[in-house]
Amino acid sequence: MNATFKSLSVVAALAGAVGMAATLGPVEAVAADKVKCYGIAKAGQNDCANKAGTHSCAGQSTVDYSGGEWKLATKAECEEKGGQEQAFDGVNEKMKG
């Protein structure tokens, strides 16, 4: 490798690192304002694994507003929709009705 190629490689790596840092910063800030809100996800719209352990992936819930399924939401949105920050048995009647 010649010196010019090494220099360009270093510059490209640094540019990539700076670009990644710039894009990750706002995402982390948004995620920090959110809570796992149980009972507000419609079937197929949950964000990750459920309380019962019957699935471990987003979008696999089968019951609307299940207390064992969660979505990321702001604390205010979670409270407004009748969700809870801890899993619960049954369904969220406020969202269902």
Residue-wise pLDDT tens for the chain (97 aa)? 567 656 656 555 555 555 555 555 454 555 679 999 999 999 999 999 998 889 999 999 999 999 999 999 999 999 999 999 999 999 999 987 7
Question: Is the residue at 72 inside a domain?
Answer: yes
Res 97: pLDDT? 72
Which residue segment(s) compose the domain that 75 sits in? 31-96
Question: Is the residue at 52 inside a domain?
Answer: yes
Question: Is the residue at 77 inside a domain?
Answer: yes
Kindly report the pTM of this predicted structure. 0.66
| Dist CA 58 CA 56 (whole Å) | 7
Counted domains in the chain: 1
Question: Is the residue at 83 inside a domain?
Answer: yes
Q: Where are the alpha helices (DSSP H) in 33-84?
A: 75-80
| Dist CA 84 CA 40 (whole Å) | 9
CA distances from 91 to 11, 21, 26, 27, 66 (A): 54, 40, 33, 30, 4
Question: Is the residue at 3 inside a domain?
Answer: no
Q: 3-state DSSP: the chain helix, strand, coil percent, rounded to 5?
A: 40, 15, 45
